[in-house]
Amino acid sequence: MRILLLIIAVLAVANFSVHEYIDRTAKRDIIISAYRGNAIAACQRQAGNQIDPEVWNKPSGVKLKIGKSDLDVYVWQTKHKLWKARYQNPYLYVTLGTKGAVIYCDYDISNDTASVHATGARTISYHDAG
């Protein structure tokens, strides 16, 4: 009887986990497809003429993340002006591979702002204040 209960419990946990994974994946894909165009347009505006416009048509990657981990804000500093940006705001990270450089852009969906960075042969960094 215990083995039967254990099997039922394991099946229930597996069922919940699969449904949770499918739900989160679907939501992620919907958010990426809804804001991908806005992110690329904001990143392209922010980079200006420094990057060929054709490169923006085929990004090598677009990822959704919640919060920006490179901000120096601790979880208990809830009154800090960057707390939401660090722990709550959704970001799309757009990556472009070009000749000799990797260009990446952080697009804040909540504030409609972009920040473009490049590493490699060229080093450029742009920040949109709003």
Q: Which residues contact 80 (CB under 8 A, 6 or more apart)?
A: 73, 86
pLDDT in tens, 16-38: 999 999 999 999 999 999 998 88
Give domain limits for the chain.
2-127
Answer yes or no: is pLDDT of 118 > 90.
Answer: no
Say which range, 53-57, 92-96, 112-116, has the weakest mean pLDDT. Answer: 53-57
Write down the pLDDT at residue 20. 96
Neighbours of 99 (CB within 10 A): 9
Query: What span, in angstroms and rounded, lies between the C-alpha atoms of 85 and 95?
Result: 20
Query: What span, in angstroms and rounded, lies between the C-alpha atoms of 108 and 43?
Result: 10
Amino acid, res. 18 = V
- Rounded to an integer, the average pLDDT of 74-102 is 83
User: With bands split at pLDDT 50, 70 and 90, how would you rate the model's confidence at 99?
Assistant: low
